[in-house]
C-alpha cells in the first residue's frame, strides 16, 4: 500500500461512472496508490427486480487498465447498500482512503440535472476529499 492511501471510486455501469474510473485510475497511478472500484448492491439488484442488468466488474477493471494502472493495483468490491452508504462505509477502513471519486450522475440520473443525489450527499458527508468527475470529461 502507498503512503497516501487507497483511491476509491464508485461504479454503477453508467457512462459517468466509467469516466470516473478512468480519472481515478490515472490519479491512483500518479500517486502510486492502489485503486478500489466499489459497486453498491441494493435490495432490488439482490432480488433481481427493477429491470437493471447486472454491473460488469470486469469492464470497470478494464477501464482502469486502459488508463495505465496495473491490474494488480486494482480491487473490485461489491458492497451491500445504497451507493452513498456503501461508499462511506469503505472510507471507514481498515485501509486509509486518500480520495473518493464518483461521476457527476449515475445510472438513475434525471435528464438536465448537473449532479446526482449520490455525488451531492458524498460531497456533504465524506470524511475524505471527494472528486466529482463531470459528465463532460472524456479521457
CATH number at residue 107: 3.40.50.620
C-beta neighbour count of 120 within 10 angstroms: 15
Give pLDDT tens digits for 64-115: 999 999 999 999 999 999 999 999 999 998 889 999 999 986 555 445 555 6
pTM: 0.86
Q: Which three cell numbers stand for residue 74?
A: 486494482
Query: Is the residue at 128 inside a domain?
Result: yes
Query: Is the residue at 138 inside a domain?
Result: no
Instruction: Tell me what pLDDT residue 2 has.
Output: 47
| Total domains in the fold of the chain | 1
Instruction: Tell me what pLDDT residue 27 has.
Output: 96
**44 versus 105: which is more confidently predicted?**
105
Contact 87, 38 (CB under 8 A): yes
Write out the residue range of the structural domain in which residue 22 sits: 6-133
Instruction: Tell me what pLDDT residue 96 has.
Output: 94
Amino acid at each position: 500500500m502507498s503512503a497516501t492511501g487507497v483511491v476509491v471510486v464508485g461504479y454503477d455501469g453508467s457512462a459517468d461512472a466509467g469516466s470516473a474510473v478512468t480519472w481515478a485510475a490515472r490519479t491512483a497511478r500518479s500517486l502510486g496508490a492502489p485503486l478500489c472500484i466499489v459497486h453498491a448492491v441494493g435490495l432490488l439488484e439482490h432480488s433481481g427486480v427493477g429491470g437493471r442488468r447486472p454491473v460488469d466488474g470486469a469492464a470497470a477493471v478494464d477501464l482502469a487498465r486502459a488508463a495505465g494502472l496495473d491490474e494488480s493495483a486494482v480491487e473490485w468490491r461489491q458492497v451491500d447498500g445504497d451507493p452513498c452508504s456503501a461508499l462511506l462505509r469503505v472510507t471507514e477502513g481498515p485501509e486509509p482512503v486518500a480520495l473518493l471519486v464518483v461521476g457527476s450522475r449515475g445510472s438513475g440520473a434525471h435528464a438536465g440535472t448537473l449532479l446526482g443525489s449520490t455525488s451531492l450527499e458524498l460531497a456533504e458527508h465524506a470524511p475524505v476529499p471527494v472528486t466529482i468527475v463531470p459528465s463532460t470529461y472524456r479521457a
